Amino acid sequence: MSIEAKIRAYIAENFLFGEADQLAVTDSFLDKGIIDSTGILEIVMFLEEQFGVKVADSEMLPENLDSIGNIVKFIEKKSGSK
């Protein structure tokens, strides 16, 4: 599974509850109202476990985490720089 597919599956399962087809790669999680402050911590934990990266508190920003596309870019950057 690609990074995007894994992330989409996780978001679908845990936040969209199965309706992930409707979520475009660039859709903002905040705009879609699907993630709140406790949700973002769960996503970070998932990324750390699934991709073996360490997410610093200072990286918990919309540009890294607020859409499927942003997360993919963020994970690629983190994995590449390891």
Partner 1 sequence: MKPQRLLHEALQFSAARAGNAGKVAVVVEGKPYTYGDLLDQALRLSAALRSRGLTRGDRVAIYMDNTWPCIVSLYATLLAGGVFSIVNPQTKADKLEFILNDSSARILLTDGHLAKEFLPALPLVRQPLTVIASGQLPASPQIEAFDEVVRNTSPGEASREIIPLDLAALIYTSGSTGNPKGVMQTHQSMVFAAGSLIEYLRLSEEDRILCVLPLAFDYGLYQLLMAIQLGATLVLERSFTYPAQIFARMQEQRVTVFPGVPTIYAMLISSHGRAPLSFPGVTRVTNTAAALPDEFVVKLREIFPNTLIFKMYGLTECKRVSYLEPELADQKPGSVGRAIPGTEIYLLSPDGKPVPPGETGILHVRGPHVMVGYWNRPDLSEHMLKPGKLPGERVLCTQDFFRMDAEGFLYFQGRSDDIIKTRGEKVSPVEVENALHSIAGVREAAVVGIADPLLGEAIRAYVVVEPEANLNDKQLRVACAARLENFMVPKEFVLCKELPKTATGKVSKKLLLQQSAPA
Residues forming contacts to partner 1 in the complex (CB under 8 A) are: 13, 17-19, 28, 30-41, 56-62, 65-66
DSSP symbols for 10-22: HHIIIIITT-GGG
Q: What is the three-class DSSP state of 7?
A: helix
Least distance from partner 1 to the Cβ atom of residue 5, Å: 19
Contact present, 29 and 66 (Cβ < 8 Å): yes
The H-or-E segment that residue 63 falls in is helix 62-65
Angle, to 10 degrees, between the axis of helix 68-80 and the axis of helix 3-11?
130
Nearer to partner 1, 7 or 66 (CB): 66
Nearer to partner 1, 2 or 62 (CB): 62
Least distance from partner 1 to the Cβ atom of residue 12, Å: 10
Nearer to partner 1, 13 or 76 (CB): 13
Least distance from partner 1 to the Cβ atom of residue 76, Å: 20
